[in-house]
Amino acid sequence: MSSTEQKTDGQPRIGVYVCHCGINIALKVDITDLIEFAKGLPNVTVAREYKFMCSDPGQELIQKDIKELGINRVVVASCSPLMHEPTFRRATAKGGINQFFFQMANIREHVSWVTSDRGDATKKAKALVAGAVRRVAYHTPLERSKVPVNANVLVVGGGISGIQAALTMADSGKRVYLVEREPTIGGYMAKFDKTFPTLDCAACILTPKMSSVRAHPNITLWSYSEVVGVDGYVGNFKVKVKRKPRYIKEELCVGCNQCVEACIFKEPKFADEFNFGLSKRKPIYMPFPQATPSVVLIDPDTCIFFKTGKCKQTCIKACERNAVDFDQKEKIEEIDVGAIVLATGFKPFDAARIPQYGYKKYPNVYSSLEIERLVNASGPTGGEIIMRDGKKPKSVGIVHCVGSRDEKTNRYCSRVCCMYSLKLAHLVHERTHAEVYNFYIDMRTPGKGYEEFYDKLMQEGVHFVRGRVAEIRDWPMTAEEVGKLVIRVEDTLIGVVRRIPVDMVILSVGLEAHADAEDVRRIFNISCSHEGWFLERHPKLAPVSTFTDGIFIAGACQGPKDIPDCVAQAGAAASEAMALIDKGFVELEPNTAYIQETICSGCKTCIPMCPYNAIRYIEDKKIAQINATLCKGCGTCVAACPSAAAQQNLFTDEQIFEEIEGVLNYV
């Protein structure tokens, strides 16, 4: 108890305050009857009613009674604690007693809003008030603890979302660690040619940001690295990062590519991941021309030296800076951060899962991302649309909703495919003057300038067929179909089945959560939704925070979205992380559990039960001990403890049993 708090003689003097909440409660619950009833409960000194308890006059009622009548326990019968528990706790504290000498009875969400009969409602309200009154007599004074927050931040994922979040936080002076699994940052945006609806060149708008990240004094960029372990709690995370070996000394390499030129492989032979296998690379390679950091790496699975031990190692000779290091090992770094922003992005749907579309069966069926690379000036064909057979297409079919809106693959709509399909239609039409057909179910163009973009495409002469493509085959029924891929679809707007022969098919694949999203979420102790996306705290009001304090999510890892939304979310996550850090400390609810040392027998039943790893076994005392800052007050250990040594503040056995007795005995 603080010095400003009043002393009492130990006897509880309870004030009961019943709120009308306008007509929300008063219409269903007989307030007068309830007040009379409350007056008769044990230890009740005063019982009042008011139209809106949460208002200033309402709160003042409480404070006045505490000061003048020596009230030392407060019960407010009104709405849900989720609404106003903090309000009334503050009012109680302002009155001069410990704020935890307060208990709320929910007679709105739990009574007046869900009971039809007035008599039943009043009866139930009485029971809840009686329970609260009996309980509050056993409340003890508690304090919120304050824990300092580490000022560093970790951003996981170096796509546009991660980059934006990192830059925002670094600009405000925070120390940011940006960890990216691939050898370069940039994510999927770096692979696009143009972005919708403005047709901005993706690299032109992204690479300045990538350079800023590299150059920023407050950002430590760890590429080709992964987070492998997270311990601790909000404000005090201990993170282990695995730095994978490039076999190149990052600090020495300047990206001159002499080593790549000199490699004993005269011609590149291995599928280039950045171009989805449409071009080849050597075992030593620069991921793409604007890779950041601009450092090459060696792939041990294809490098002759790693596979056989015998190689002239011309790369070492060619490097003037002696940056090649075949002995480089994996390294584990440990850092302390106060907040984490996860921006790990998405994975494109594998179109081979829909055999009807012929992906990987017919060479001229492509996924949209492969086309992004073909259309890109620094891609495998220099920006020309050339098919695998070397020809340019005269007709192209773009199939929407591949792996989206489909019970057999993903039920949800992937949100960006209609727009990027329109963009690809425009780019392909522009480069090849081919007949372009877009096959769609619905045209989803909600953003700024999106509907106008759709109109532009229609004006350009792209054909739009409203119908989900049923099959893509190569059996011809007419002369025009010989040698082509035939798309069979119902043109639902005209109302007829059509067979449309095309040279090339582009499958607009949807977005999915990464294959290892489950594993990643476990490392950070957050949840995933049913489809595998990271779960936000509230779908409307808290889209960037998670149920784990201090861990924020941003970008496509939370759900499919386009670049404007990714950047917006990244800013939001950054600001919430910064708010946490700038506050400097975290206040923890005192409803934590504790072990009564004298009762604990050291049976260790509670320790593995704790979902937050908050309980330790003290070897020399042979008892369990709970770390109050990690404890979330879930009550599992309390329930599990065979000797009732584990108890929880605000939920002691006494308090709970009194509440039960109150509910059962007086009505």
| Residue of 36, 22, 37, 24 whose CA lies nearest to 131 | 37
What stretches of 202-294 adopt beta strand conformation (E)?
219-222, 225-233, 236-243, 270-271, 280-281, 284-285
Give yes or no for residue 479 binding another protein (CB under 8 A).
no
Q: Is the distance from CB of 537 to CB of 529 less than 8 angstroms?
A: no
Judged by CB under 8 A, which of 495, 530, 540, 598 binds another protein? 495
Judged by CB under 8 A, which of 95, 467, 532, 662 binds another protein? 467
The runs of H, that is alpha helices, within 172-299 are 202-215, 258-262
For another protein, the closer of residues 10 and 495 by Cβ is 495
Q: How many helices (H) and strands (E) does the chain have?
A: 16, 34
Query: What angle do helix axes 31-39 and 118-136 make, rounded to 10 degrees?
Result: 30
CA distance 610 to 459: 62
CA distance 553 to 339: 11
Judged by CB under 8 A, which of 240, 392, 468, 604 binds another protein? 468
The verdict on whether omega for the bond into residue 393 sits within 30 degrees of 0, i.e. cis, is no
CA distance 634 to 638: 9
Judged by CB under 8 A, which of 387, 470, 609, 667 binds another protein? 470
Total residues at interface with another protein (CB under 8 A): 26
Give yes or no for residue 480 binding another protein (CB under 8 A).
no
Query: What angle do helix axes 563-583 and 160-171 make, rounded to 10 degrees?
Result: 40
For another protein, the closer of residues 264 and 352 by Cβ is 352
Judged by CB under 8 A, which of 347, 463, 488, 604 binds another protein? 488
For another protein, the closer of residues 59 and 438 by Cβ is 438
* Interacting positions 343-382 with another protein (CB under 8 A): 355-356
What x/- string results for residues 116 through 155 when contact with another protein is judged by CB under 8 A?
----------------------------------------
Shortest distance, position 390 Cβ to another protein, whole Å: 23
Judged by CB under 8 A, which of 473, 537, 604, 616 binds another protein? 473
Using the contact rule CB under 8 A, the part of the chain among 188-196, 389-397, 472-480, 623-631 near another protein is 472-480
CA distance 472 to 501: 9
Shortest distance, position 481 Cβ to another protein, whole Å: 11
Element (H, E) at 89: helix 81-95
Neighbour tally for 496: CB within 10 Å = 9
Judged by CB under 8 A, which of 34, 489, 578, 586 binds another protein? 489
| Residue of 107, 91, 111, 108 whose CA lies nearest to 99 | 91
Surface-to-core class of residue 265, CB atoms within 10 Å of its CB (0-12 exposed, 13-18 middle, 19+ buried): middle
Judged by CB under 8 A, which of 5, 226, 350, 490 binds another protein? 490
Question: Strands 284-285 and 297-298: what pairing?
Answer: antiparallel
For another protein, the closer of residues 408 and 538 by Cβ is 408
Shortest distance, position 531 Cβ to another protein, whole Å: 16
For another protein, the closer of residues 215 and 497 by Cβ is 497
Shortest distance, position 652 Cβ to another protein, whole Å: 49
The verdict on whether omega for the bond into residue 197 sits within 30 degrees of 0, i.e. cis, is yes
Q: Is the distance from CB of 112 to CB of 20 less than 8 angstroms?
A: no
- Quick one: three-class SS letters along 433-477? CCEEEEEECCCCCCCCCHHHHHHHHHHCCCEEEECCCCEEECCCC
Shortest distance, position 355 Cβ to another protein, whole Å: 4
Only one residue has tokens 């409602």, namely 121
Only one residue has tokens 């076994």, namely 617
Shortest distance, position 396 Cβ to another protein, whole Å: 19
Shortest distance, position 360 Cβ to another protein, whole Å: 12
CA distance 352 to 472: 13
Give yes or no for residue 474 binding another protein (CB under 8 A).
yes
Judged by CB under 8 A, which of 271, 458, 497, 599 binds another protein? 497
What x/- string results for residues 389 through 428 when contact with another protein is judged by CB under 8 A?
------------x---xxxx--------------------
Shortest distance, position 364 Cβ to another protein, whole Å: 15
Using the contact rule CB under 8 A, the part of the chain among 14-22, 161-169, 486-494, 524-532 near another protein is 486-494
Using the contact rule CB under 8 A, the part of the chain among 260-268, 465-473, 536-544, 612-620 near another protein is 465-473
Judged by CB under 8 A, which of 176, 469, 507, 581 binds another protein? 469
Q: How far is Cα of residue 513 from the mean position of the Cα atoms in its chain? A: 11
Give yes or no for residue 466 binding another protein (CB under 8 A).
yes
Neighbour tally for 431: CB within 10 Å = 15
Give yes or no for residue 463 binding another protein (CB under 8 A).
no
| Residue of 101, 179, 174, 105 whose CA lies nearest to 140 | 101
For another protein, the closer of residues 309 and 495 by Cβ is 495
347 Cβ contact list (under 8 Å, min separation 6):
511, 512, 513, 514, 515
CA distance 258 to 248: 13
* Interacting positions 441-460 with another protein (CB under 8 A): 441-442
Judged by CB under 8 A, which of 267, 475, 530, 611 binds another protein? 475
Residues that bind another protein (CB under 8 A): 355-356, 401, 405-408, 441-442, 466-471, 473-475, 477, 488-492, 495, 497
